[in-house]
RNA sequence: GGCCCGGUGGCAGAGUGGUUAUGCAGAGGACUGCAAAUCCUUGUACGUCGGUUCGAUUCCGGCCCGGGCCUCCA
């Protein structure tokens, strides 16, 4: 099967055909850097990281451009900096660094380009001028507004018409708007607020503008995939489409709109008052990042996901099984007559699962099949082939790239090694009482022992 | 109120018009000094009520439940 993606714009699964197979291009809405990311923010990160990996698999590593922006100008940032008594630059820098650390911890590769909104103010101003010139935007009281009725097919992405939106509007309409549905492209800044000089006075951009400007700058006015969470479909992506299509009427802008489903936590909407609000950093104190990643990938990306710590624990159990299988590789390599070459052939069922709109749960089932093959393998050749397949499949999902020993034991522990040596001695002397005593002692520390044919190994659990 | 999404076995979670998902947990067995791991076996699944059909968890409609969005605005 070839890659198919569910396209919000067409509301169906479409075969993916890039504009230029030599350069498949994807833009994903990144974070607004006013606070550390929570596990709900991590879902699109991980989902689109898998999509980027899959695209690189399909088109070649150098034939994909993945852009994920940093929004570092936003009223939430201004408010938070004021609350913290912190400079805006300090807040955005710190938050960006934390974001990078969290993304890496959950196994996400860096995007090819990570543009910052504040580095693209000039492009945004040009875009606004273009929209004003084409009579899709107008200036009013220091603001520039996009005039929604100037775009006949506005609302196609989110499937709503203008009358419905006005009927359902909960917010009072600003008096300077020509039409209630018009939205802000540029707004004035007070002296204390961050601002840039513009033809309309000192001000700052509206929320939706940066993505139109930055995607055009780094991917061109037409590109392939635009991604983000479902909560961005309206108004953010709808308005991006309005800005970009009206400014560049001969261009398609994004052709495939891909949106991940919403995340709940412990059965409820995530909220600090409920106690189910987990930042990625907090979770990393308790769990390996890879377990978080697998927990997120165990649901298909469009499905609502109920995140839970129990779910992460289960994901860690699954990873134990995979790493146990991968651990057999070293034994095979250590064999004197064993082959030294490892082939990394991704099982076809894993690829086809991902090609079917990123069916990660089915792909993970394929990982279990691959692990079964490892355990069933008898010769060193078979083990190397099977572990190579498992590891290659894992890499496509951004999993299983650690050395098994590191996964289970971290940096190791001389005291544990000493106790194990003592226990081996006790066992060969048939002093099972002492051997069990040592094992109980280690169990109390969260260390699980395994007496295998190749000796005794251990792992941390807990 | 409008628009949209989802309800699968103890739990998580795929999929399908008639045939085994998969994993985690549980039970029994093999193996083990005992364990752990691994292997084998095992358990009532498809919200509800109708309809279409030879046959629906899978298609259609109603209902119930859960969730999301409904613009920048002080």
Nucleotides of B under 7 A from a protein CB: 1-6, 11-15, 21-25, 32-39, 66-74
Distance between the alpha carbon (CA) of A45 and the C1' atom of B74, Å:
33
* Structural contact between residues A365 and A321, judged by C-beta atoms closer than 8 angstroms: no
Q: Cβ(A312)–Cβ(A291) under 8 Å?
A: yes
Question: Does nucleic acid strand B have an atom less than 7 angstroms from the CB of A317?
Answer: yes
What gap in Å lies between CA A366 and CA A179, rounded to an integer? 53
A342 touches strand B (CB under 7 A): no
**Structure token digits, residue A409:** 């034991």
Q: Is A415 within 7 A of strand B by CB distance? A: no
The spacing between the Cα labelled CA in A203 and the C1' in B62, in angstroms, equals 53
- Whether A446 sits with its Cβ under 7 A from any strand B atom: the answer reads no
Per residue of chain A (462 residues), what is the pLDDT tens digit? Answer: 689 999 999 888 999 999 999 999 999 999 999 999 999 999 999 999 999 999 999 999 999 999 999 999 999 999 999 999 999 999 999 999 999 999 999 999 999 999 999 999 999 999 999 999 999 999 998 899 999 999 988 888 988 766 655 544 444 567 888 888 889 999 999 998 999 999 999 999 998 999 999 999 999 999 999 999 998 998 899 999 999 999 999 999 999 999 999 898 988 888 887 788 899 999 999 999 999 999 999 999 999 999 999 999 999 999 999 999 999 887 777 665 555 666 789 999 999 999 999 999 999 999 999 999 999 998 888 999 999 999 999 999 999 999 999 999 998 889 999 999 999 999 999 999 999 999 999 998 889 999 987 789 899 886
Nucleotide nearest to A146 (CA to C1'): B71
The strand pairing partners of A137, in sequence order, are A146
Cβ pair A261, A302 in contact under 8 A: yes
pLDDT for the residue numbered A343: 75
Q: Global pTM?
A: 0.95
CA-to-CA distance for A419 and A438, rounded, in angstroms? 7
Q: Which residues of A250-268 are buried (b: 16+ CB within 10 A; e: fewer)?
A: eeebbbbbbbbbebbbbee
CA→C1' distance for A99 and B62 (Å): 48
- What is the structure's pLDDT at A167? 47
Per-residue model confidence (pLDDT) at position A170 = 45
pLDDT at A197: 95
Say which nucleotide is closest to residue A362, CA to C1' distance: B14
A314 CA to B51 C1', in Å? 42
Q: Give me the CA A5–C1' B48 separation in Å, rounded.
A: 33
Residues 107-166 of A with CB under 7 A from strand B: 143, 148, 158-160, 162, 164-166
Q: Is the CB of A170 under 7 A from strand B?
A: yes
Nearest nucleotide (C1') to alpha carbon of A426: B33
CB-strand contact A457/B, under 7 Å: no
Nearest Cα to Cα of residue A91 among A69, A72, A110, A75: A72
Place of tokens 């309309």: A200
Quickly count: other Cβ atoms within 10 Å of residue A62's Cβ.
10
Which nucleotide lies closest to A427 by the C1' atom and the CA atom? B33
pLDDT number for residue A161: 66
């Amino acid at each position: 099967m070839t890659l198919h993606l569910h396209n919000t714009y067409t509301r169906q699964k479409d075969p993916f055909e890039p504009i230029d197979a030599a350069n498949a291009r994807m833009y994903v809405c990144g974070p607004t850097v006013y606070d550390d990311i929570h596990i709900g923010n991590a879902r699109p990160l991980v989902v689109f990281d898998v999509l980027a990996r899959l695209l690189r698999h399909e088109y070649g590593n150098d034939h994909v451009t993945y852009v994920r922006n940093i929004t570092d100008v936003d009223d939430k940032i201004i408010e938070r900096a004021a609350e913290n008594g912190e400079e805006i630059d300090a807040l955005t820098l710190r938050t960006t660094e934390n974001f990078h650390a969290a993304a890496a911890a959950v196994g996400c590769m860096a995007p090819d380009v990570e543009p910052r909104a504040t580095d693209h103010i000039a492009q945004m101003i040009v875009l606004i001028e273009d929209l004003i010139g084409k009579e899709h935007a107008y200036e009013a009281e220091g603001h520039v507004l996009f005039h929604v009725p100037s775009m006949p097919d506005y609302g196609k992405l989110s499937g709503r018409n203008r009358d419905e939106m006005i009927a359902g509007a909960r917010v009072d309409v600003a008096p300077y708007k020509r039409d209630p549905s018009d939205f802000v492209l540029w707004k004035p800044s007070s002296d204390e607020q961050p601002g840039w000089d513009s033809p309309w006075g000192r001000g700052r951009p509206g929320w939706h503008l940066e993505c139109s400007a930055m995607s055009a700058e780094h991917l061109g006015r037409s590109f392939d995939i635009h991604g983000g969470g479902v909560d961005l479909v309206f108004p953010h992506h709808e308005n991006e489409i309005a800005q970009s299509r009206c400014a560049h009427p001969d261009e398609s802008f994004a052709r495939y709109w891909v949106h991940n489903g919403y995340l709940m936590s412990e059965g409820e909407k995530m909220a600090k008052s409920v106690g189910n609000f987990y930042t990625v950093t907090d979770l990393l104190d308790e769990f390996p990042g890879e377990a978080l990643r697998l927990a997120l990938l165990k649901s298909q990306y469009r499905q609502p996901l109920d995140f839970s710590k129990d779910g992460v624990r289960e994901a860690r159990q699954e990873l134990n099984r995979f790493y146990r299988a991968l651990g057999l590789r070293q034994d095979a390599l250590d064999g004197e007559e064993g082959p030294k070459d490892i082939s990394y052939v991704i099982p076809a069922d894993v690829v086809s699962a991902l090609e079917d709109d990123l069916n990660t749960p089915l792909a993970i089932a394929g990982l279990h099949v691959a692990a079964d093959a490892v355990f069933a393998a008898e010769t060193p050749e078979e083990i190397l082939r099977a572990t190579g397949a498992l590891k290659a499949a894992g890499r496509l999902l951004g999993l299983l790239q650690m050395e098994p020993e590191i996964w289970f034991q971290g940096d190791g522990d001389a005291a544990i090694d000493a106790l194990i040596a003592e226990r081996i001695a006790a066992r060969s002397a048939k002093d099972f009482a002492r051997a069990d005593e040592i094992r109980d002692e280690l169990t109390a520390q969260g260390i699980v022992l395994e007496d295998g044919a190749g000796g005794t190994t251990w792992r941390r659990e807990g």
